[in-house]
Chains A and B, each alone.
Chain A
Amino acid sequence: MTVATGIRGEDRQNAIAGWLFMTPTILIFSVFIIIPIIAAVYFSMTDWNGISPPIEANFIGLDNYKAILTEPGIRQTDFFTALKNTTYFALGVVPMQTIISLLLAVVVNQSLLRFKSFFRTTYYFPSITSSVAISLMFLFFYQKSGLVNQVLGTLTFGAWEPIAWMADPRGLIHIVLSWFGLTIRTAPDFLTQTSLFGVTLWSWISGPSVALTGIMIMNTWTTIGTMMIIFLAALQDIPNFVYEASQIDGATAWTQFRRITLPMLRPTMFFVVTLGLIGTYQVFDQIYVMSSGGPAKTTLTIAYLVYRNGFNNSQMGLGAAIAILLFIIIFALTMIQRRITGSEADN
């Protein structure tokens, strides 16, 4: 038998031992990851309501996906509204968190900086604090008479008109357009009447609502700590002699940053942006605590829509289909992103 398999006795034993070592991981991985994924794919093709036992669910093929992607109706409108909101969320948060965390990492990496560990701890602190606790705290900050409005009022010498952040469904781009007299009442018909996937063009270009912007700022604040640590580790990996050599060549600090630090950080940048994309497209807990998708569905995100379909609306099958679509979206975005930043990092 040993000869037949072409593996010598000792190697075979090693192989068995290897598998045995892997067994606990494989078991845990299958029970908590593989089987749920397969189940989710299966449920996304059923009409399971999430209340009756799953065995009673009927197999309906791709009907859930059709309802979301091709059939006009509330399911399609909700999904694409959520996709719009989540995309604005990612477009705002990912660049903000990447840039700020990089700057922070560069600052706390300076050898001349005093109280370095104090700053490192302070910046990292929000990342290890309970996101629910932070969300509740920010709910108070964003009240009409809350801290944010008061600070903005002081900074603008009272010109800032206090707003109830979490109850304001106006989109940022809509607000800017309204300064130029363009509102839903004055907008041309092709914007307000044409619908793309159940959402009017006018709604597509809304920008994040004031409420969503509030959550975006908070989300950035809580995530920059982790990103900063990752950048910091990469910064410390850059050999010092590169900087010394460039100094001899007469490079300024800015040139060093642009020509040495940034290129050397490319793989890390890819990693941070990927983490950021995944994190923002899956944002759930802060929405759940702060806004429950409101006001006027402007903070409805894809992950929250999955929850709402599964547990408020007795459409677990539909929720599963949205979850699968969310996976595909994140996967595709990561691949595109890899094309842009990753290919050079591989070299």
Chain B
Amino acid sequence: MNKRLLTLWVLLLIGMLLAACGGGTAVEPTTAPAATEATTAVEEPAAEPTAAEAPAGDVIQLQLMGWASSDAENSRLQEMIDSFNAANSDVQANLLLVPDYDTKLQTSLAGGAPPDVFYIDSFKLPDFVAANAIAPIGDELENVDDFYPNLRDAFTLNGTLYCPPKDFSTLALEYNKDMFDAAGLDYPTADWTWDDLRTAAEALTDSDNGVYGMVLSADMARWIAFLYQAGGTVTNADFTAMTLDSPEAKEAMDFYVGLVQDGYAAQPADLDSGWPGEAFGKGKAAMSMEGNWIVPFLQDQFPDVNFGVTELPAGPAGDATMSFTVCYGVPANAANHDASVRLVNFLTGPEGMKAWTDLGLAMPTRASLRDGWLEKFPDLEPFLNGAEYSYPWQFRPGFQDVLDTVNSGLQEAFTGLATTDQVLQNAQEVGTEVLNR
């Protein structure tokens, strides 16, 4: 090979490399315009840490990241963002709804370029706090005391409120009115007990035709409601010891597993369904214990099902349910902290919360909005009532291991591969290990 050819090759290679580098940055805006804008917005002030926010005249670009839900909710959220942008000339927020949310959020946090505001599920909060990933903005929120105390607890760790609940769901008892009528039974009421539930489930079961009194899944997030109803707890108050070896936990698990083992309840998979709501909609189970998300699902997919909702039955220790909630989090050390908090306050303030929950798909987390909301959606009152006596779905960092263990154990207990004692002992051991990490 002669020298000229070699030089040519070198030039070509350099050219290719440059083109490759240039290509990387040039491609990005077309695939994710919002992402690049937000990144530049974050980086600019970071270069000048002394300048508070962006220089006057510049518009701060904010990115709000969440997961997509129903079309109605997605477009309502976009409308709210639009009105925020209209009211704030110096801040422009962009909504980014992504699939595979957890993975995306985690990598963007680890990569040092997180979105300015993002959804955090209460169960995940301890992990984010342990990683110093989010800023506590409890003190900067509008009228914090208006949020239901139970829902504040869901985002409070060691006495610090980290972020405001954007909405919430609670578990209640859904029942198929036609099936109750056919069996000649009275509809469930809020003062039902475990015995009432079991008796009704037994009477409604017609296993020859593949119909069960109730649909239950091997899921700690459902069983735990019975645990609290029995007066048990998962851990002690300050999370130093597991308490799943209590007689109350045993009683709750025996009751829950017993419904399945005795054939009065079945799992969704045994009813040809992906989740309990589907089994209930198909009329293969007369009762289910899901959250308010089941209501739009049934209205949409199974409009003919004639169903009612009441509060969960009371256990030996009284009423209890679970609340599942998501908050708007702001990352730690964010350059646009103040603008982000302004957006969060807009979305969760009394007016924003009202606009968001007026669709009837999500429930307001502010007690002051309760009456107005119930006037519009009286049928959903059992769900909203749960706010008063619900327990938050939040524990300690690494609690996923306990959740997996209990779910796996429930599945084994349903199938007869393990006893309830073994499941609880196993969960107790795993939980102790997690708490001691």
Contact = CB atoms under 8 A, between A and B. Distances in A.
Contacts of A295: 218, 408, 411, 415
B411 A74 contact: no
Given A13-B6, A49-B131, A167-B267, A294 B408 contact: yes
Contact of A13 (B1, B109, B218, B267): B1
Interface string B214-239: 00001000000000000000000000
B417 A53 contact: no
B130 A167 contact: no
B106 A143 contact: no
B204 interface: no
Interface stretch (B8-16, B65-73, B342-350): B8-16
Contact of B398 (A23, A297, A313): A313
> Chain B binding site: helix, strand, loop or mixed by DSSP?
helix
Interface in B358-415: 397-398, 400-401, 404-405, 407-409, 411-412, 415
A296 B412 contact: yes
Interface in A162-199: 164, 166-170, 184
Contacts of B397: 314
B415 A170 contact: yes
Interface string B423-434: 000000010011
Main secondary structure of the interface of A (DSSP, over half): loop
A51 B110 contact: yes
Contact of A16 (B6, B133, B408, B412): B6
Contacts of A74: 401, 405, 430, 433-434
B419 to A, nearest CB: 9
A315 B272 contact: no
B127 A314 contact: yes
A52 interface: yes
Interface string B1-26: 10100100110010011000000000
B408 A296 contact: yes
A52 B110 contact: yes
Given A14-B1, A297-B404, A315-B398, A50 B411 contact: no
A152 interface: no
B128 interface: yes
B112 interface: yes
B269 interface: yes
B12 to A, nearest CB: 9
B134 to A, nearest CB: 10
A20 interface: yes
B132 to A, nearest CB: 6
B408 A73 contact: no
Interface in A307-347: 311-315
Contacts, number: 105
A143 B272 contact: yes
B408 A297 contact: yes
A56 B110 CA distance: 10
A163 to B, nearest CB: 9
A23 to B, nearest CB: 6
Given A73-B433, A314-B397, A17 B1 contact: yes
B209 interface: no
Contacts of A314: 127, 130-131, 397-398, 400
Nearest to B422: A184
B185 interface: no
A52 B412 contact: no
Contact of A144 (B269, B407, B408): B269
A145 interface: yes
Contacts of B102: 311-312
Contacts of A73: 430, 433
Contacts of B31: none
Interface in A1-60: 13-14, 16-17, 20-21, 23-24, 27, 49-54, 56
Contacts of A13: 1, 3, 6
B6 A17 contact: yes
Nearest to B9: A20
Contacts of A53: 110-112
A54 B106 CA distance: 12
B109 A52 contact: yes
B338 interface: no
Given A14-B1, A51-B109, A23 B13 contact: yes
Contacts of B30: none
Contacts of B434: 74
Contact of B131 (A52, A168, A296): A52
Interface string B47-82: 000000000000000000000000000000000000
Nearest to A171: B417
A20 B112 CA distance: 35
B258 to A, nearest CB: 17
Contacts of B1: 13-14, 17
A326 B17 CA distance: 35
Interface of A: 13-14, 16-17, 20-21, 23-24, 27, 49-54, 56, 73-74, 143-146, 164, 166-170, 184, 293-297, 311-315
Given A146-B272, A314-B400, 12 more contacts: A14-B1, A52-B133, A56-B132, A144-B272, A164-B269, A168-B415, A293-B404, A295-B218, A295-B411, A296-B218, A312-B400, A314-B397
> Ordered nearest first, which 7 A-B pairs have the shortest CB separation?
A167-B269, A51-B131, A164-B269, A296-B411, A52-B131, A314-B127, A296-B408
Interface of B: 1, 3, 6, 9-10, 13, 16-17, 102-103, 106, 109-112, 127-128, 130-133, 218, 267, 269-272, 397-398, 400-401, 404-405, 407-409, 411-412, 415, 417-418, 430, 433-434
27 contacts: A14-B1, A17-B1, A17-B9, A20-B9, A20-B13, A27-B17, A51-B106, A51-B109, A51-B110, A51-B133, A53-B111, A74-B433, A143-B269, A143-B272, A166-B269, A184-B417, A184-B418, A294-B408, A295-B218, A295-B408, A295-B415, A296-B408, A296-B409, A297-B408, A312-B102, A313-B400, A314-B131
